[in-house]
Amino acid sequence: MKVLISAYSCEPGRGSERGVGWNVAREVAKHHEVWVLTRTDESKDAIEAELAANPVPNLHFVYFTLPFWQDSLRWGQSGAMQLHYYLWQIQAYFVGRKLHKEIGFDIVHHVTFVRYSSPSFLSLLPIPFIWGPVGGGESAPLSFWTDFNRKNKLYESLRWAWRAIGELDPFTHLTAQRSAIAYATTEDTAKQLRKLGASHVERLSESGMSQLEIEQLSQCPPPTGSSVRFINIARLLHWKGIHLGLRAFAQANLPDAEYWILGEGPELGRLQALSKNLGIAEQVKFFGLLPREEVLLKLGQCSILVHPSLHDSGGWVPLEAMASGRPILCLDLGGPSQLVTSEIGIKVPAHSPEQAVNDLAQAMVRLAKDKNLRLQMGQAGQQKVKNYYSWEAKGKFLAHVYKDIDSVMPTCLTDKSLSS
């Protein structure tokens, strides 16, 4: 099949959005012929270097950027970046329409950004359209806002408002309505997609790992010694919930245990002060931002991942912990809750900060005292990653979805007049 992929963010050897764009395109190209629309200014050099070193015959890239806006990278994640993304999607439609007349695609798939509240104008092409996985429908429960300062509350309010504006866009509704399949990273996002008019919504994580990474992490042995180390790997942001993990650790009262925190961010000072106020400063270690190799080394030296995020769409860090055979503690929220089952970790309800902290503390004590349970959960997590979360497995899955797309196409999109 001839497949057109929209990947605004796409780069080999990277994680998050860029890794999603690259890995989906590369793996699908093992089964079909793929053309990828992406930006000129972000990763062209890296993509071309990778293809020169490791050619993928069925993979073709089409680079372009707005003619009046040559450099979007310097805008970071600001509002200007969001405007650039929206305008680029409009331009992608005209580039894609021209390509479709020349090549005759069988299907078009929007891959990145992984965001449900912005439209993909490529859905207007007269061929089946797949949207996602997309996320962003998750919110921190209001009861947890009591822990936020004024700046953090403003962030959450603006995030909600930006999402609401996107939902009012008629083109966002049209994107949902014209999707043969809309994949949502979480049930929260799935609900929003249904409200927008998507007729066929399924859940699918955007996260994945290469077979090589899975094999490397699977070689990570359980830590030796009787002491237990908890580890939290995240940007130090209010919605990552690290303050909840620290409060739970203090309440668990495990004098021989340690709590390692990897990452940097604006909450560092607050978290350091919190650990002192809780009387656990001697047990808590802040390592800052480390290279990926050192992060994985630290992960291998710890027993349990704590990931109490309040609105993650994905689950990149939990996935790496699963591959390394570490059980996971998380809240029953967002992407991590889709990954973590009772076989591979413990997820606790998120009704209030007090309840969540109490339940996390009990889970910490349970895992700290039961080495066999930690090993069982770790092994189950490794098996789940191998079966469902390798990029190779995701590529095969999508390749089959493309072939069977006619069976799930909405009636309004199977009208032969669309192909004229």
374 within domain boundaries: yes
- pLDDT the model gives residue 408: 59
* Residues in CB range of 373: below 8 A, 6 or more apart: 327, 366, 367
* Cα 18 from Cα 301, distance rounded (Å): 28
User: Is 60 in the same domain as 201?
Assistant: yes
| Residue 352 maps to a domain | yes
* Closest C-alpha to 124, from 196, 181, 174: 174
Same domain, 350 and 399: no
Residue 76 domain flag: yes
Calpha distance 145→359 (Å, rounded): 19
Domain for residue 65, yes or no?
Answer: yes
Residues 7, 45, single domain; the answer is yes
8 Å CB contact between 8 and 18: no
Structure tokens at 360: 């996390």
Query: Roughly what angle, to the nearest 10 degrees, separates helices 16-28 and 40-53?
Result: 50
Core vs surface per residue 84-99: b (16+ CB within 10 A) or e: bbeebbeebbebbeeb
- For the stretch 250-285, pLDDT in tens is 999 999 999 999 999 999 999 999 999 999 999 999
CA nearest neighbour of 32 among 105, 127, 90: 105
- Sole residue written with tokens 């990570």: 220
Task: Judge if 197 and 97 occupy the same domain.
Answer: yes
Q: Residues 70, 182: one domain?
A: yes
Residues 201 and 215 grouped into a single domain: no
Check residue 420 and give its pLDDT. 27
Strands of 8-78, DSSP E = 33-39, 59-64
Question: What distance in Å separates the CA atoms of residue 155 and residue 294, rounded to the nearest whole number?
Answer: 31
Look at residue 419 and tell me if it is in a domain: no
Q: What is the pLDDT of residue 156?
A: 93
Count of structural domains within the chain: 2
| Secondary element (H or E) of residue 405 | none
Domain shared by 222 and 316, yes or no: yes
Q: pLDDT at position 409, please?
A: 57
Contact 340, 367 (CB under 8 A): no
What is the rounded CA–CA span in Å between residue 146 and residue 329? 22
Residue 216 in domain: yes
226 within 8 A of 258, measured Cβ to Cβ: no
Instruction: Return the pLDDT at 387.
Output: 86
CB-CB contact of 276 with 286 (8 Å)? no
Range of the domain at 289: 211-388
Residues near 19 by beta carbon (within 8 Å), at least 6 away in sequence: 11, 13, 208
Burial of 400 (0-12, 13-18, 19+ CB in 10 A): exposed
Task: Note whether 106 and 196 are same-domain residues.
Answer: yes
- Residue 418 located in a structural domain: no
Mean pLDDT of the chain: 90
Which residue, 102, 118, 84, 83, is CA-closest to 35? 102
Alpha-carbon distance of 187 to 48, in angstroms, equals 37
Beta strands in 253-389 (DSSP E): 258-262, 284-288, 304-307, 328-331, 345-348
Note the pLDDT of residue 418: 33
| 240: CATH | 3.40.50.2000
Q: Residues of the chain whose pLDDT is less than 50?
A: 73-76, 411-420
Using DSSP bridges, classify how beta strands 33-39 and 2-7 pair: parallel, antiparallel or unpaired: parallel
Q: CB neighbours (10 Å) of residue 196?
A: 22
Shared domain for 139 and 272, answered yes or no, is no
* Single-letter residue type at 220: C
Same domain, 37 and 162: yes
Residue 420 falls inside a structural domain: no
The beta-carbon contacts of 342-348 under 8 Å, at least 24 apart in sequence, are 343/376, 343/377, 343/380, 343/384, 344/377, 344/378, 344/380, 344/381, 344/384, 345/305, 345/318, 345/377, 345/381
Are 17 and 72 members of one domain? yes
* 371, 326 Cβ separation under 8 angstroms: no
Residues 78, 130, 181, 316, Cα dihedral to 10°: -50
Same domain for 381 and 285: yes
Residue 36 falls in which region: left (phi positive, over 0), alpha (psi -120 to 50) or beta: beta
